[in-house]
C-alpha cells in the first residue's frame, strides 16, 4: 500500500542531542534543473546522486507523461532519453505540484521550438513571478503568450542576445542559460545568479557539448551550438540546504554532528553565522563538524542571493535562534512570505515579532512541544528542529512538504539519535 505523506504527521520527542555522522544527498535544486536540461540532449543522459525526494519523482512523472524515456537503472541514478518530440502540454495536475516544472520552458523551447507550462500562481512563500524568464527568452527571439493560465512559447531557431537581469533570479538565469545553448551565436547574460546550482548546470551543459563560460560570476557567456549530445555519467552536487539544515539542528540540540559528502565552500555563509552565534564549526574540503552547546549569542541575519545567507535556511535559523538568549534579527530579502513559520514557533513558546521583512526574535529558555503545521518545505524543516529542541512531544502536520525536499530525513535523524517517526493516519 502506498503511504500518503500529505496526510499523517511527523512526531518528535524533544530533548535529545544529535550526535554522529550524516551523509548529505544530491542537491534537490541542482537535480531538478539538470533533469530539465537533459531534455535538450539528443543522446542518453545518466545522472548520479539524484536525491530520492517527491519533487524529483513528480518531475520524472511529468517527463514520462509527455513521452520522454526516463528510468532508474539503480537507486539514485536516473537515465533520461529525449529522442522524440514531447506531447505537450504536461498534465496540469502534476505541473501544479511542482513550481520547478517551469524550468522546462527554456529547454523545450530551444530544442523543439515550442513549450507550454502552467503559470505558477502565488505560492506559500510569496508571489513568484516569471517576468525575468520571459524577458530573457523573448530577447532570444521567442514568442511568449499567456492563455488561460498557461504560458505558450514558440520560436524558430533562437538567436543569441545581450540580456541584463534586473534581479539575479536563480530560475531565470537557468532557463535563459539553457535556451541560449541552442541559440545561434553568442549570448551574454549580465547580473545573473551565482548559486552553486548554476555552476553545476553550466558544467552539465558543457558535458553535453555546450559552450558556457563564467558561471559562478555575474556574467555568463554562451556560444550557441546546433545540438547537444549526451552525457553518460554526471554526478549532482551535494545539497547545501540539506547540509545546512543538519548543521543548524546540531547547533540547536547542543549536539555534535559530522557531515560527510559536502562541498564545504558552499556552506560558508552558514558557517560564518553559526560561529558568530558561538557554535564551533570545523571544516575541511568535503566534511564539516558542528559542535554545539557553548554559550550562544544572538545574531543578525539578512537573506541575500549567493554568496549571501540563503533564504532556504532562514526558517531553520529562526527556530534555532528562538532559544538563543538575547534579541536576534532576521531580514528576509528574497521571498516576502517566508515568515509563516513564526506563528507555529510561537505556538511552541517562541517570542517572535514580524514586521514586514524584519523578524525580531527574543530567545526563550525552552520551547514546548505541541501540534504545528508546516506551510512549506523549509518551514517544515524548521519545525522539526524546533521539535528536536522542545520539551515534550511535537506533532508536525502537512509532512508532505518536508518529503518534497529531504531524502530520508526521518532515517537520517534517527541515526543521529533523534526520536522521530512518521505516523500515517
Ligand atoms: N523574481 C522575479 N521575477 C522573476 C523571477 C524571480 O521578480 O522572473 C523574484 C522572486 O519573486 C523572488 C526572487 O526573484 O523574490 C528570487 O527568486 P528566484 O527566481 O531566484 O528563485 P527561484 O528560481 O524561483 C530557486 C529555488 C528556491 C530558492 C530560490 C532562491 C529551485 C527549484 N528553487 O527558486 O528553492 O529559495 O531559488 O535561492 O531552484 C526551496 O528549495 O525550498 C526553494 C524554494
Given the DSSP bridges, would you call strands 45-48 and 77-81 parallel, antiparallel or unpaired? antiparallel
Name all residues whose Cβ lies below 6 A of ligand 1: 28-29, 32, 100, 128-133, 167, 169-172, 193, 311-312, 334-335, 377-378, 405
Sign of CA dihedral 145, 146, 150, 151: positive
Is pLDDT at 2 greater than 80 in this prediction? no
Provide the angle, in degrees to the nearest 10, between the axes of the packed helices 240-252 and 314-321.
Answer: 0
Specify the ligand 1 atom closest to the Cα of 100. 32
What is the model's pLDDT at position 122?
A: 46
State the distance from the centre of ligand 1 to the C-alpha of 83, rounded, in angstroms: 30
Digit-coded pLDDT (tens) for 230-239? 999 999 999 9
Q: Give pLDDT tens digits for 319-338.
A: 999 999 999 999 999 998 89
Atom of ligand 1 lying closest to residue 32 CA: 32
Provide the pLDDT for residue 1.
47
Place of cell 563560460: 213
- At 124 the pLDDT is 67
Q: How far is ligand 1, taken at its centre, from the CA of residue 211, in Å?
A: 25
Percent of the chain surpassing pLDDT 90: 87
Is the predicted pLDDT of residue 7 greater than 90, yes or no?
A: no
Task: Give the pLDDT confidence score for residue 86 in this predicted structure.
Answer: 87
| Average of per-residue pLDDT across 251-275 | 98
pLDDT per residue as tens digits for the range 67-76: 999 999 999 9
Protein residue with least CA distance to atom 14, ligand 1: 169
CA of 33 to the centre of ligand 1 (A): 13
Q: Band of the pLDDT at 25, cuts 50, 70, 90?
A: very high
Task: Please tell me the residue having the least CA distance from ligand 1 atom 26.
Answer: 29
CA angle (216 as vertex; 213, 222 as ends), nearest 5: 25
- What's the chain's average pLDDT? 95
pLDDT for the residue 395: 98
Shortest-distance atom of ligand 1 to CA 167: 14
pLDDT at 68: 94
**CA distances to 134, 312, 324, 344, 372 from 386, in Å:** 39, 16, 12, 10, 10
- Give me the pLDDT at residue 153, please: 94
Closest ligand 1 atom number to CA of residue 130: 8
CA–centroid distance, residue 55 to ligand 1 (Å): 16
Cα of 349 vs centre of ligand 1, distance in Å, is 31
**Are residues 107 and 153 in contact, defined by beta-carbon separation less than 8 angstroms?**
no
Q: How far is the CA of 171 from the centre of ligand 1 (A)?
A: 6
* Stretch 282-310: mean pLDDT: 96
Average of per-residue pLDDT across 90-109: 88
| For residue 120, pLDDT beyond 70 | no
Q: Give the residue whose CA is nearest to atom 39 of ligand 1.
A: 29
Residue positions annotated with a catalytic role:
123
Q: Whose CA is nearest to atom 13 of ligand 1?
A: 334
pLDDT at 3: 60
User: Among the atoms of ligand 1, which is closest to the Cα of residue 55?
Assistant: 32
Q: Is the pLDDT of residue 4 over 80?
A: no
Mutate to test the pocket of ligand 1, among 34, 117, 171 (most ligand atoms within 8 A of CB): 171
List, in sequence order, every residue forming a beta bridge with 126; answer none if it has no partner.
123
Residue owning the nearest CA to atom 23 of ligand 1: 171
378 CA: nearest ligand 1 atom: 42
- Quote the CA–CA distance of 173 and 155 in Å, as a whole number: 19
State how beta strands 69-74 and 371-373 pair: unpaired
pLDDT tens per residue across span 32-72: 999 999 999 999 999 999 999 999 999 999 999 999 999 99
Over residues 4-8, the mean pLDDT reads: 77
Listed in sequence order, the residues at least 6 apart from 395 whose beta carbon sits closer than 8 Å to its beta carbon are 9, 10, 11, 369, 370, 371, 372
Confidence band for 126, pLDDT divided at 50, 70 and 90: low
In the reported structure, the alpha carbon of residue 192 is separated from the centroid of ligand 1 by a whole-number distance in angstroms of 12
Pairwise CA distance, residues 182 & 158, whole Å: 7
Of 124 and 53, more confident: 53
Q: Which of 307, 334, 374, 409 to mutate to test the pocket of ligand 1 (most atoms within 8 A of CB)?
A: 334
Which residue of 34, 131, 167 sits with most ligand 1 atoms within 8 Å of its CB, as the best mutation to test the pocket? 167
Terminal-residue alpha carbon distance, the chain: 13
Instruction: Please give the Cα distance from 186 to 396 (Å, whole number).
Output: 50
Minimum CA distance residue for ligand 1 atom 6: 169
Q: Report the separation in Å between the CA atom of 291 and the middle of ligand 1, taken as the mean of its atom positions.
A: 31
Q: What is the mean pLDDT of residues 148-163?
A: 93
Q: Name the pLDDT band for 83 (thresholds 50, 70, 90).
A: confident
**pLDDT (0 to 100) of residue 108:** 95
Residue nearest to atom 28 of ligand 1 (CA): 312
Amino acid at each position: 500500500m502506498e503511504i500518503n505523506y500529505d496526510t499523517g504527521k511527523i512526531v518528535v520527542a524533544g530533548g535529545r542531542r544529535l550526535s554522529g555522522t550524516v551523509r548529505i544527498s544530491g542537491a534537490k535544486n541542482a537535480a531538478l534543473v539538470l533533469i530539465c536540461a537533459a531534455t535538450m540532449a539528443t543522446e542518453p543522459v545518466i545522472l548520479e546522486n539524484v536525491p530520492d525526494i517527491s519533487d524529483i519523482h513528480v518531475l520524472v512523472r511529468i517527463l514520462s507523461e509527455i513521452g520522454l524515456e526516463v528510468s532508474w537503472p539503480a537507486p539514485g541514478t536516473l537515465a533520461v532519453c529525449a529522442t522524440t518530440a514531447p506531447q505537450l502540454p504536461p498534465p496540469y495536475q502534476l505541473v501544479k505540484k511542482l513550481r520547478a516544472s517551469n524550468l522546462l520552458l527554456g529547454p523545450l523551447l530551444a530544442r523543439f521550438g515550442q513549450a507550454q507550462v502552467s503559470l505558477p500562481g502565488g505560492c506559500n512563500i510569496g508571489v513568484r513571478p516569471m517576468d525575468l524568464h520571459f524577458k530573457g527568452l523573448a530577447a532570444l527571439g521567442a514568442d511568449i503568450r499567456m492563455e488561460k493560465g498557461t504560458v505558450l512559447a514558440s520560436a524558430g531557431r533562437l538567436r543569441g542576445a545581450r540580456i541584463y537581469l534586473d534581479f539575479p533570479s536563480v530560475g531565470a538565469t537557468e532557463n535563459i542559460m539553457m535556451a541560449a545553448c541552442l541559440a545561434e551565436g553568442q549570448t551574454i547574460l549580465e547580473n545573473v545568479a551565482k548559486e552553486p546550482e548554476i555552476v553545476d548546470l553550466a558544467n552539465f551543459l558543457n558535458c553535453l557539448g555546450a559552450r558556457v563560460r563564467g558561471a559562478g560570476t555575474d556574467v555568463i557567456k554562451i556560444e550557441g551550438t546546433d545540438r547537444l549530445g549526451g552525457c553518460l555519467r554526471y554526478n549532482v552536487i551535494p545539497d547545501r540546504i540539506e547540509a545546512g539544515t543538519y548543521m543548524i539542528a546540531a547547533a540547536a540540540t547542543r549536539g555534535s554532528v559530522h557531515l560527510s559528502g559536502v562541498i564545504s565552500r558552499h556552506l560558508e555563509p552558514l558557517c560564518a553565522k553559526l560561529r558568530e552565534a558561538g557554535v564551533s564549526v570545523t571544516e575541511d574540503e568535503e566534511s564539516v563538524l558542528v559542535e554545539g552547546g557553548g554559550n550562544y549569542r544572538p545574531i543578525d541575519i539578512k537573506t541575500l542571493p549567493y554568496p549571501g545567507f540563503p533564504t532556504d535556511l532562514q526558517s531553520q535559523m529562526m527556530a534555532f535562534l528562538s532559544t538563543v538568549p538575547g534579541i536576534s534579527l532576521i531580514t528576509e530579502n528574497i521571498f516576502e512570505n517566508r515568515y509563516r513559520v513564526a506563528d507555529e514557533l510561537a505556538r511552541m513558546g517562541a517570542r517572535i515579532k514580524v514586521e514586514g521583512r524584519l523578524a525580531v526574535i527574543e530567545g526563550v529558555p525552552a520551547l514546548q512541544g505541541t501540534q504545528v503545521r508546516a506551510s512549506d518545505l523549509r518551514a517544515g524543516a524548521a519545525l522539526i528542529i524546533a521539535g528536536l529542541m522542545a520539551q515534550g512531544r511535537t506533532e508536525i502536520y502537512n509532512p508532505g512538504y518536508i518529503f518534497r525536499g529531504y531524502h530520508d530525513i526521518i532515517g537520517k535523524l534517527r541515526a543521529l539519535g533523534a526520536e522521530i517517526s512518521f505516523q500515517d493516519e
